[in-house]
Amino acid sequence: MKAVLAVLRGPAVSRALARFGVDPKRYWLLVDLFGAMSERQEVMDQLGRNNAAMGMAGIFYLVLSGILTVVSVIAHATPATHLAMFLLFTVFLFSGILLSEAGNSLVNPTEGMVLAHQPINGATYTAAKLSHLLRIVVFLTPALNGIPALGGLALPKAHWYYPLVHLSAAFAVTTTVALACCAVFGWLMRFIPAKRLKAAGQFAGAVPLAGMAWMGQLPKFFAHVPWRAVVPASPTGRLALLCACGFAAVAAVIFGLRSLSADYLLRVSAMSRGGARGGAGSRRSMAASIVGRLAGPAARAGYAFSSRLMLRDWQFRRQFLATAAPLAIAIGSAFAKGWKADPFAEGFSPIHFLPHAFGLLLIFTCALLPFGSDYKGAWVFRLAPAPALDAFAAGVYGMLAQILVVLNVLAAPLLIWKWGPAHAALFLAFSLATGAVYIAATMRLTDGIPFTRQPDPKRSALGLPVLMMGMVVVGIAVAIQHFVLFRSTIAVAAATIILAAAGWFAGRASIAAMGADMQNQVAQEVGESGTIYHEVGV
């Protein structure tokens, strides 16, 4: 390891950095600074600098790629198909991870506010900030493609050198994706006002998964493209068009990367002040008033606190939007395609996905809820008595329940008009009961006070695989629901009653468990702060 570091910090690498306008001395000082901050657990929200998160993500991808390799070998895929499948999968995973990580490094410049007055040029600071992306590429590329590369030897007509070809192609693809993600933010910084860069960065992080959600519509889109008018008929013309597209892509990446280093530190202050203003008003919420009347003032505080910060907290929005965007598209697509078809009819209706899609959305919501940008403000909860924390948890439950109720209320008029009052009411009741069970189950993922912990980069690294596995489980549940349950209105009514009762008791247990977790977190923080001070005798 020391030998590798000596080579990296040697004169050859220093000359290469200097050619790109990077000051080698200050670059390595910044890299050491960011590494020390990560070791002291002061900055743990970047995947490339969090060894524990990298290890867990690597193990997860290793297992996932192993399962997919077994499937590919059993299916007797050709080496070309095997390679194309895993390269496409790698592009999707790394696009989501690296876009999110690049945005977290560049448009959430916590360290930049501290270092903006130092004599550091933009290229040096940007290179140091983005160096952890290289660690992600070096560490996760073999984790995702190592087993598939070796497993390719078991495919028919595979040559002995296939693993080398597979790994070389995988590293080429991931490096290209990393450079392209950095270039995206370079173009955003060139054309987007500094105060809007946070919102633009969050939108960019959601694009890969949103594109995956719309992938099923691509064949229909390409079917309407007049290819004969766009693509030349002659092989020479097609080769020229392909070369032109390649040169344009390379130029876009190069100029995007150059835009990163122009005046980055001059934009830091404006970027820090810019951001979401959702929930910043002082208007009274009817839902908050209802929660307050049912569970007390502390519950109303829990509702207001969680609902406001869900709209304003940078880290929550950054990670949540990357997973919620495709789910929102899936929910909207399922409703648009299936709201006309009665779910009690013999034919399958995509509307069956509606209650379960909300459950997937809750999984990511509750898993990300404990983490926030201003986690050091957790001290304020030490001033609250223990019973107030239990009521605060009830307010968080009320906020999640409000989302469930609003979604079903918005769908009710169309469903009643198309299906009739009886079937629409029964389906909406089933949806509400199923959603209540999901809320009670997923609230256990929020094991503490919302928005009071450092962001966990494992959540963003595992977001796409967990989403894909969740969709498989939901597909199985929807199939059972269609072929077994919705054959009889009596069966659906009985299931609704059972689910509602289970949701009621499980919800009360989840509220109590969350209140206990909040009290334990406050007790631990009080104990930790007490160890800082020592009594001095006079």
* Residue pLDDT tens, the chain, 538 long: 556 566 666 777 777 777 777 777 877 777 777 776 666 655 556 666 667 777 777 888 888 888 889 888 888 888 888 888 888 888 888 887 787 777 777 766 555 555 555 566 667 777 777 777 788 888 889 988 989 999 888 888 888 888 898 999 999 888 888 888 888 877 777 777 766 666 666 676 666 666 665 565 566 666 666 666 666 777 777 777 778 777 777 777 777 777 766 555 555 555 555 555 544 455 567 777 777 777 778 888 888 888 888 888 877 877 777 666 667 766 776 667 667 777 777 777 777 787 887 787 888 788 888 887 777 777 788 877 877 888 888 888 888 888 888 888 888 888 888 888 888 888 889 888 988 888 888 888 887 888 888 776 666 666 666 666 767 777 788 887 878 888 888 888 888 899 899 989 998 898 888 888 888 888 877 665 554 444 444 4
Under 8 Å between Cβ of 470 and 360 = yes
* 94 plus 205 within the same structural domain: yes
Residue 371 gets which letter from DSSP?
B
**Beta-bridge partner residues of 371:** 453
Cα–Cα distance, 152 to 83 (Å, whole number): 8
Q: At what angle do helices 314-338 and 197-213 cross, to 10 degrees?
A: 40
Helices (H), 214-313: 218-223, 227-230, 235-260, 264-273, 286-295, 297-312
Model confidence, pTM: 0.66
Residues 6 or more apart in contact with residue 417 via CB below 8 angstroms: none
**138: how many CB neighbours lie within 10 A of its CB?**
13
Q: Which two tokens stand for residue 342?
A: 């009665």
Whole-angstrom Cα distance, residue 532 to residue 520?
Answer: 19
Q: Give the chain's domain count.
A: 2
Q: For the chain, what is the radius of gyration of the CA atoms?
A: 26
Do 341 and 479 lie in a common domain?
A: yes
The label of the residue with tokens 């020390």 reads 36
pLDDT at 501: 93
Are 176 and 256 found together in one domain? yes
Same domain, 156 and 211: yes
201/296 same-domain check: no
Domain boundary among 240, 273, 306: 273
Pick from 46, 143, 50, 57: nearest CA to 100: 46
Cα(124)–Cα(26) distance, rounded to whole angstroms?
A: 7
531 found inside a domain:
no
- 147 and 16 in a single domain? The answer is yes
Residue 213 near residue 329 (C-beta atoms within 8 A): yes
Round to whole Å and give the CA distance between 459 and 476.
24
Distances (CA, A) of 262 to 108, 193, 198, 253, 266: 18, 15, 18, 15, 9
Residue 219 domain flag: yes
Q: Which amino acid is at 222?
A: F
Identify whether residues 268 and 348 lie together within a single domain: no
Of 273, 300, 328, the one marking the end of a domain is 273
What are 99's two structure tokens?
Answer: 């876009």
| Own/partner pairs, 293-297, CB within 8 angstroms, 24+ separation | 294/398, 295/391, 295/394, 295/395, 295/398, 296/391, 297/391
What's the confidence (pLDDT) of residue 217?
59
Same domain, 143 and 237: yes
Containing structural domain, residue 211: 2-273
* Burial status of residue 258 (CB atoms within 10 A of its CB: 0-12, 13-18, 19 or more): middle
535 within a domain of the structure (yes/no) = no
Residues 6+ apart with CB under 8 A from 32: none
Element (H, E) at 337: helix 314-338
- Angle in degrees, CA 396, 385, 398, rounded to 5: 15
User: Is residue 251 domain-shared with residue 396, that is, in the same domain?
Assistant: no
Q: Are 465 and 385 contained in the same domain?
A: yes
Q: Which residue has the tokens 């596995």?
A: 469
In a domain, 279, yes or no: no
AA letter at 326:
P
Task: Indicate whether 123 and 227 sit together in one domain.
Answer: yes
What is the pLDDT, as a whole number, of residue 342? 75
Do 210 and 326 belong to one domain?
no
Q: Which two tokens stand for residue 155?
A: 């495919």
Asked which of 246, 273, 300 is the last residue of a domain, the reply is 273
CA distance 442 to 358: 11
Half-sphere exposure of 322 (CA within 13 A, CB side): 31
| Domain-located, residue 83 | yes
Q: Is residue 75 part of a domain?
A: yes
